[in-house]
Structure 1
Amino acid sequence: MISIIIPIYNERDNVRELHARVTEEARKLHTPYELLLIDDGSKDGSAEILDELAAGDEALTVIHLARNCGQTAALMAGIDNARGDVIVPMDGDLQNDPADIGRLVAKLDEGYDVVSGWRKDRKDAELTRNLPSHIANRLISFVSGVRLHDYGCSLKAYRREVLDGVRIYGEMHRFIPIYASWQGARVTEMPVTHHPRMHGKSKYGLERIFKVILDLCVVKFLDRHLVKPIYVFGGFGLFAVLLALLTLLWALGLKFFGDTSLIQTPLPTFAGLSFLLGVNSILMGLLAEVLSRTYFEAQDKKSYRIKNIVRSGTQGKDREATDSAGR
């Protein structure tokens, strides 16, 4: 079964046409499907239209969130309630083309686990949307090591097992291909059609860039240091302590060889603050180590992921799944 997940927020003028076009394309797949429309606290009458559509379509499930929680949370609600072996999320503003759903699913059949859409000919404002997005995509690819042209495109196709155990927050839905790649999934991308917005207005502004950068820092930390956070906190702490010692030696050198009193220079104060910062950072690292072990042991999570097991010439399936930090 294919599960098509679409978060909806104040898209009253789009939802009827969206439902009709997605349903038309889904039926062309000649495979069981379900359509999940997630009402993310809409206040423009979208919720009532969604309920009306659900009453006449057995393949449609509408999930109403209690308040506006954001696109990532709405998408997570859809994933949690989806029943399909293939998950296809997309936007609800009709800028993604439902006709691309079949192409993405067909690409999965070539042996890929994630197929990410690439809005190669994007129909958005060049300076306020396209340029910042281009810069962000380059930055994300550089930091993550996963080379994609368009992380922000919501239209993607996932095998269900790739999403099992994944929890996303903030603006992190765009980083799911990174999580998947770090866990050994085969990730690719393909150009998809992008249409200009005809109704309503975009819910995102330039402030989203800063959220993406901060979320990227979190993703990188979770990948490299969730199992051993002391390497980050302790490393910075040792650097601060070393800096404090060097600064103190500098101050003492000025006193004995430069005839400069310790009260005439801010170096001793800086050394003391740097030392306290270093010790505090090391202690935070030790606390993070305790929390990390509690995280894994309380939930019976593993710090590794088995791809397959072979016994007596028989190849088994995946036995364990865990966070990408356990690489």
Structure 2
Amino acid sequence: MAKQITGLDLSVIVPFYNEEGNIKPLYEEIKEVLISTGKSYEMVFVNDGSKDKTLERAIEIAESDPTVHVIDLLRNSGQTAALMAGLDQTCGDVIISMDGDGQNDPKGIVKLLEELEKGYSVVSGWRKDRQDKEISRKLPSRIANKLISKVSGVHLHDYGCALKAYKREVVEQVRLYGEMHRFVPIYTVWQGGKISEVPVNHRARVHGESKYGLNRIFKVLLDLLLVMFMERYMTKPIYVFGGVGFLSLALSVLTAIWAIFLKIFDGKSFVETPLPILVGTFFTTGILCILMGLLAELMMRTYFEAQDKKTYQIKGHYNFKGSKIT
């Protein structure tokens, strides 16, 4: 699918996976809200490898409404990949994302836009009165939100709410993988942008079944670890690998000293303890970590230089003509 013509105010991206019963009523609600804003808009429905009749329903809607575009992914790739597929094909100045299960109330779009106009780069919805099961959905979400806020330093009540509004220039600089769509507010703050959060209405699911389980919290935590690593050490991975390597070498030396101490003062032979094996293990691990750090450094330099990427971002120029001073 080719990218749509430019000049639109809003692009609404909705990923769907086995939501044939939700897509038509959700479309009608979104359209009513978008018309009420008075802005030009498009809707991008991403079929994320559905096995039911979601794609057929989406195509029927698109054939009757030229503002609706449908992207059909080859297989189920996950919410983040579906969102990126939509982002790559949209052209609105403001991007709005939401779930396709009907639990996000489209009326919240108006709240997001009002907040965005106050100068924020990203506005996230907050499902303050969430209509989900307490143990399997709400409790893990609260734990994950507190942990993400603590680790990242970016405090939001509800990272998992899919209803968000972004200014295009923010999301164009981010490539998302795994479950990283929820971390866009963190990227925004790290890049110097401003974020906000507004309470939005959350509804109980009417059709279909939830696709999320408790195992998702572990995926989110692993992605958070990756995000933190990329932010702090992407341009200097040797600090991580080298640090672990030197720690391992230090443990190797201490273990060797301990083994020698036992040999001299306690009369224990080296073969009577596992200490020599630990010495070798720590030493080998240390050397390998340092070598991996050097390799990672070479890879990152190749990544930046081959694509002419910069390790910095310029916010603006003031009284600067770009001419060389001679």
Instruction: Report the TM range for the smaller structure's normalisation.
Output: over 0.9
Q: How does 1:115-154 map to 2 (within 5 A)?
A: 115-154=123-162
Asked if 1:61 corresponds to 2:61, the answer is no
* Counterparts of 1:277 and 1:294, CA distance in 2: 26
Between the two proteins, what is the percent identity of the paired residues?
Answer: 56
Q: Are positions 1:243 and 2:251 aligned together? A: yes
* 1:193 maps onto 2:201 in alignment: yes
Q: Equivalents in 2 of 1:87, 1:10: separation in Å?
A: 23
Whether 1:304 aligns to 2:312 is: yes
**Superposed counterparts of 1:1-327, under 5 Å:** 1-311=9-319
Q: Secondary structure at the match of 1:310?
A: coil
> Aligned equivalents of 1:49 and 1:246: distance in 2?
67
User: CA separation in 2, counterparts of 1:207 and 1:135?
Assistant: 14
Distance 2:144 2:40 in 1: 37
Secondary structure at 2:37 match in 1 = coil
Tell me the C-alpha RMSD between the 2 structures.
1.1
Structure 2 gaps of 5+ residues are 1-8
TM-superposed CA distance for 1:147, in Å, is 0.4
One-letter code of the match for 2:16?
Answer: I
In 2, the alpha carbon distance for the partners of 1:164 and 1:18 equals 27
AA aligned opposite 1:138: K
- What count of residue pairs does the alignment treat as equivalent? 314
Secondary structure (helix, strand or coil) at the match of 1:184 reads coil
Give the AA of the match of 2:166.
Answer: Y
- Give the secondary-structure state (helix, strand or coil) at the position aligned to 2:290: helix
**TM-fit CA distance, 1:103:** 1.2
Q: CA deviation at 1:298?
A: 1.1
TM-score (normalised: structure 1): 0.95
1:180: Cα distance to partner?
1.0
CA distance in 1, matches of 2:50, 2:109: 25
Instruction: Give the TM-score, by structure 2 length.
Output: 0.95
Instruction: Report the secondary structure of 1:289's partner residue.
Output: helix
Supply the AA of the counterpart residue of 1:229: P
Q: Secondary structure at the match of 1:311?
A: coil
Distance 1:306 1:141 in 2: 26
Structure 1: which 5+ residue stretches go unaligned?
317-327
Misfit runs of 4+, over 4 Å: none
- Offset at residue 263 of structure 1 (A): 1.0
